[in-house]
Amino acid sequence: MDNNKSGLMKLDPMTPEAVKVKKIFWETEDVFTIELVYDSDEKREFSYKPGQFNMLYAFGVGESAISISSDSSKKNSLLHTIHKVGYVTNVLSKLKKGDIIGLRGPFGSSWPLEEAKGKDICIIVGGIGLAPLRPSIYHILKHRKQYGKFVLLYGARTPRDILYPVELESWRKKYDIQIEVTVDRADSTWRGHVGVVTTLLNYVELNPEKTMAMVCGPEIMMKYAVDELIKHGVTEKEIYVSLERNMKCALGFCGHCQYGPSFVCKDGPVFSFSKVTDIFEIKEL
């Protein structure tokens, strides 16, 4: 039998490391952000790529796979923006500054920011899907000259569900980026677009030959977004999606997150659409 090239791992990949909650705050009614730092060693740095995720462990309760939403060039702390939907995320939402939780990661594939150089970038996100793409947005804005036109299309349920509103505004002011936001249901204060996120494509000038798209959101929204992008002439291999599956180990061992031949945790979560075209259409795969 083959021995692992690196021998046995020094750190058992199943054992969480202790990290401390530096800050925790609500972004919207049911979405919150936690900032984490290393508990013991102040000088240790977090290293990850935009699009990767961590397994966050609440003592005695369990783990949840959460994508990283901070700026990957700032290595002293990590931000996770979390939708409070299940048991673990509910417990995480009640943490206080100074509490210790467990962390395993980073895991998974990342957004193709190298391949994207020189291209126009079109990011389409729905709901919490903005969080896994925020590290990419930071990266592109920081290296703005390396990329062509930059468009961010974002759909939220209601105006009150819009994530990072202050940041969106400052990006719009400070950088060369076109940001279009739409909501499913408007209220009396809302002056912007209403409708599904794909309709926002009508407000941008895409140059399909040189556009790369990054899409993240509910699966049904991604499906429509991809269809729409293809209709606009963007090629399948230039479209990237981030998939969600049930993950337990994040190591490609437990089998839970299989998607056709892929383990979402290890081969994804970010996939080139051309790799998943066949199976994106099949129900219940």
Partner 1 sequence: MKTIDKSNLDKIIGILKKDGYTVIGPIVKDGAIVYDEIESINDLPVGWGDEQEAGSYKLVKRNDDSLFGYVVGPQSWKKFLFPQRMKLWEAGREGRGFKINHSDEPVPKYAFLGVRSCELKAIFIQDKVFNNDMYTDSYYNNVRNNIFIISVNCTQSASTCFCVSMKSGPKAKDGFDISLTEVINKEGHYFVLDEASEKGKELTEMLDAQTATEQQIKAADEAIASAELSMKRSMNTAGIKELLYHNHDHPNWAEIATRCLSCANCTLVCPTCFCHTMEDTTDLTGDHTERWRRWDSCFSLDYSKVAGGSFRTSAKARYRQWMTHKLASWIDQFGTSGCVGCGRCISWCPVGIDITSEVEKIRNSPKNKIINQ
Interface with partner 1 by CB under 8 A: which residues?
1-4, 6, 8-9, 12-16, 18, 20, 39, 59-63, 83, 85-86, 89, 98-100, 102, 218, 244-246, 248-249, 251-256, 258, 260-261, 263, 266, 278, 282-285
Measured from the CB of residue 259, what is the shortest distance to partner 1 in angstroms?
9
Q: How many CB atoms lie within 10 A of CB 190?
A: 16
Strands 270-272 and 120-126: unpaired
Q: How far is the CB of 206 from partner 1 (least distance, A)?
A: 30
Given the complex with partner 1, which of 187 and 281 has the nearer CB atom? 281
- Which is nearest to 155 in space by CA: 104, 199, 118? 199
Complex with partner 1: residue 73 or 274, whichever CB lies closer: 274
> Please, which residue, 18 or 194, has the CB nearer to partner 1?
18
- Work out the widest C-alpha separation in the chain, in whole angstroms: 67
Count the neighbouring beta carbons within 10 Å of the beta carbon of residue 239: 25
CB 91 to partner 1: min, Å: 11
In whole angstroms, give the CA distance from residue 79 to residue 41.
18
Q: How far is the CB of 122 from partner 1 (least distance, A)?
A: 25
Between 74 and 94, CB nearer to partner 1 = 94
> Would you call 152 exposed, middle or buried from its count of C-beta atoms within 10 A (0-12, 13-18, 19+)?
buried
Instruction: Using the minimum distance from each CB to partner 1, give the nearer residue, 49 or 248.
Output: 248
Q: Please report how close the Cβ of residue 62 comes to partner 1 at its closest, in angstroms.
A: 5
Q: How far apart are CA 21 and CA 244, in angstroms?
A: 25
Residue 190 sits at φ, ψ, to 5 deg, of: -80, 125
